[in-house]
Structure 1
Amino acid sequence: MSKKLLEVNDLKVNFKTYAGVVQAVRGVSFDLHEGETLAIVGESGSGKSVTSNALMKLIPQPPGIYAGGEILFEGKDILPLTEKEMSKVRGNDIAMIFQDPMTALNPTMRVGYQITEVILKHKKISKQEAKERAIELLRQVGIPMPERRFRQYPHEFSGGMRQRVVIAIALAADPKLLIADEPTTALDVTIQAQILDLMKEIQKERNTSIIFITHDLGVVANIADRVAVMYAGQIVEYGTVNEIFYNPRHPYTWGLLGSMPDLKNNVQEELRTIPGSPPNLINPPIGDAFAPRNEYALAIDYEKEPPMFKVSDTHYAKTWLLHPNAPKIEIPSAIQQRIEGYLKEAETGGK
């Protein structure tokens, strides 16, 4: 097993609002090894992006509050670091690829300057060397004619090419950890596949660790080693990508997997959805937060929060259905068929 790069223990992040305190992240724990990809998945509002921003201490304070826990990067807790100390970590050790490349890039600056600026901030090299490195980075992320593109502005690039520039900026200082927050959401399916292939290639070459934030479990099957499923600010299931797809144990994970479109079937087939909506985290519900949306909820789900039950050494799920005294409920056959169909589709590359 490779060395542990990141360890998050019982992380809590709140936001003060006029309506009350929102408990956006409620005791999240996970770890990440060198060269590994961890996907964090869940619906909008589940706490994925707040967790990823917290890893770089990008939560504005106020209204944000780091209410507890620790984030150990290479064994050192980064939460107590000052803004000046964190500025050395950001870009240099941990970098982020944001969702929308147009807002991540400065429209008034040439892309070459935006890349060299990062290199010069973190590396003690000359401007000419930084320029050469920036051009090489543009080449590495698949941008044709990088010498000419170096002098262009963001509006002169397509959406997919802009996202490649954002990746080049993130890689500029050779970070050990890359956080990708829904990096393909704004792109069409073909470009999305190219960006995912590029990220896998980069990881292979550089042994970079990646945290991939997404609401799309279909993306996860092709890029992740392990998966953390988030709901209402908590991780509700955690395991290897095979365990999550072939042996999901939490009803919320069943719902997410069942919501994946089946491209092979009749287009008129009704797309499955999870009924209801996530809870208000100003007043999180007592018991299991998913209970009101869970057709298999037990009486105890409304009274007591479930612990993380161990399924295997690498697989855990936060549901009372795993208690020895709970009724045995298997994944619904319709969802099982959809997962099997999707996995077969992924294996054959859609042929």
Structure 2
Amino acid sequence: MSNPILKVENLHVNFNTYAGTVQAIRDVSFDLNEGETLAIVGESGSGKSVTTKTLMGLNAKNAVIPDNSRLIFKDKNLLELKEEEWQHVRGNEIAMIFQDPMTSLDPTMKIGHQIAEPLVKHRGMKEKEALARALELMKGVGIPDAEEHINDYPHQWSGGMRQRAVIAIALAADPEILIADEPTTALDVTIQAQILNLMKELQKESNSSIIFITHDLGVVAGMANRVAVMYAGKIVEYGTVDEIFFNPQHPYTWGLLNSMPTTDTEEGSLQAIPGTPPDLLEPPVGDAFAARNQYALAIDSREEPPFFKVSETHYAATWLLDERAPKVTPPRQILNRWAHWQELQGQEA
């Protein structure tokens, strides 16, 4: 998985509002390799969904993207596409599974026809042929008795079944990149596990690349190859899934992990991150996380930290990694993760 199929470079997305300019995405860069799953995690309002909507050309009209931002896919900058060109890319080469299937599906259109629609538009199939393929897709995503339900409407299905239908629509044209924007948020835990397993199985079959957006690190552990942690419109830590879970370096990542229950969690030991994310109408000077960070240094309120290299695949934007920074003792749960990381490294050696 060393061949990038997508490169995001210096992405900025601003929204002009009556209150002023909201700097929703602030200099985000990452790449996506063929056949891998990249998870983007962070609290609500961190910029995850705006990033993915930008990748689909679906931002609101008041969005402004500077000329130096680049989204390179197949040697072309997606940000330079006209709407008619986006029509070929969207749903065909890059597809998206949205967060709420009930608002993603057309309530007045039969589900079978909604799954067939991308095949008619992007593959030029006749309606009868497209519906036959839609039936195969319904079976492929685990919809029982598909023949009996191909003419059902969305309101006749449960949340889990509607989400399977949305996945079938996204996969209909065999996209090279699949963007999943919190696709299991509205589902119960049992159905959530089924949907995640389904996505992993389908990815193996098609070798597609997935960008998985979530605030649930528990989901990330079983889905992702690499993880980008976002805060206040920026990526603050970036690494393999093992590096982020067992060798986290940014205090924000520590906070996210400490708020997630595990099999080792002791009663009453979960800790919420204090405070709230900053107002991106006027982003703070320096490190945006400083006001919520008990480990903040004086420089955090003056200067934004650069990315420090932890390994060839792991980077974190925190002044704590500067060689001049004082040593701090992270929470006990993080120390336990670091100890486990050392064990993993010893086993590999």
TM above 0.5: yes
Shift of 1:338: 8.0
Segments of structure 1 that go 5 or more residues without pairing to the other structure are: 342-351
Question: Paired residue for 1:327?
Answer: 326
Encode CA deviations 1:185-216: one digit per residue, 9 max, x unaligned: 00000100000000000100000100000001
Counterpart in the other structure of 2:96: 96
Cα distance, 1:229 vs. partner? 0.1
| Deviation by residue 1:36-60 (Cα, 9 ceiling, x = unmatched) | 0000000000000000100011001
Deviations, residues 133-156 of structure 1 (Å, cap 9, x unaligned): 100000000001111111101111
1:131-190: CA deviations, max 9, x gaps?
A: 111000000000011111111011111100000000000001110000000000000001
The offset of 1:335, in angstroms, is: 4.2
SS at match of 1:239: strand
Percent identity between the two aligned chains: 64
Q: What does 1:204-219 align with in structure 2 at a 5 Å threshold?
A: 204-219=204-219
User: Following TM superposition, by how much is the alpha carbon of 1:124 offset from its aligned partner in structure 2, in angstroms?
Assistant: 2.2
Q: Is the 8 A contact 1:43 1:231 kept in 2?
A: yes
Structure 2 CA distance for aligned equivalents of residues 324 and 227 of structure 1: 25
**SS of the counterpart of 2:252?**
helix
Q: SS of 2:80's equivalent? A: coil
- Asked whether 1:317 is paired with 2:333, we answer no
> Mapping of 1:1-351 within 5 angstroms?
1-61=1-61, 63-67=62-66, 68-262=68-262, 269=268, 271-337=270-336
Which amino acid counterpart does residue 156 of structure 1 have in structure 2? Q
Instruction: Please state whether the residue corresponding to 2:69 is helix, strand or coil.
Output: strand
Displacement of 1:271 after TM fit?
3.3
Residue type at the aligned position of 2:3: K
Q: Deviations over 1:264-292 (max 9, x none)?
A: 656x6263100011111111111000001
- Does the CA contact (< 8 Å) of 1:258 and 1:339 recur in 2? no
State the AA in 2 paired with 1:179.
I
Counterpart amino acid of 1:91? G
State how far apart, in whole Å, the 2-side matches of 1:39 and 1:52 are: 12
Q: Which one-letter code corresponds to 1:64 in the other structure?
A: A
Asked if structure 1 preserves the Cα contact closer than 8 Å seen for 2:227 and 2:244, the reply is yes
- Partner secondary structure for residue 9 of structure 1: strand
CA–CA distance in 1 between the matches of 2:293 and 2:265?
26
Q: Distance in 2 between matches of 1:265 and 1:86?
A: 47
Post-superposition offset of 1:105: 0.4
Change (3 A) 1:340 1:164: farther
**Contact 1:245–1:339 (CA under 8 A) maintained in structure 2:** no
How far apart are residue 261 of structure 1 and its match?
Answer: 2.3
Deviations 1:48-82 (A, max 9, x none): 00001000110011x21113410001221010100
2: distance between equivalents of 1:155 and 1:31? Answer: 38
The secondary structure found in structure 2 opposite 1:119 is helix
Mean CA deviation greater in 256-265 or 82-91: 256-265
Decide whether the 8 Å contact of 1:112 with 1:150 is kept in 2: yes
Moved more, 328-337 or 214-223: 328-337
User: For the aligned residues, what is the CA RMSD?
Assistant: 1.6
8 Å contact from structure 1 (residues 262, 338) kept in 2 = no
Structure 1 residue 2, shift from structure 2 partner: 3.9
Match of 1:254, SS state, is helix
Displacement after TM superposition at 1:332 (Å):
1.5
Residue 344 of structure 1 aligns with which residue?
none
TM-score by length of 1: 0.93
Gaps of 5+ in 2: 341-349
| Contact 2:247–2:337 (CA under 8 A) maintained in structure 1 | no
Q: Quick one: structure 1 residues 285 and 153, their matched pair in 2 at CA, closer, same or farther if it must change by over 3 Å?
A: same
- Preserved CA contact (<8 Å) 2:97 2:183: yes
SS in 1 for 2:53: helix
| 1:86 Cα deviation after fit | 0.3
Distance 1:300 1:339, change over 3 A: closer
SS at match of 2:218: helix
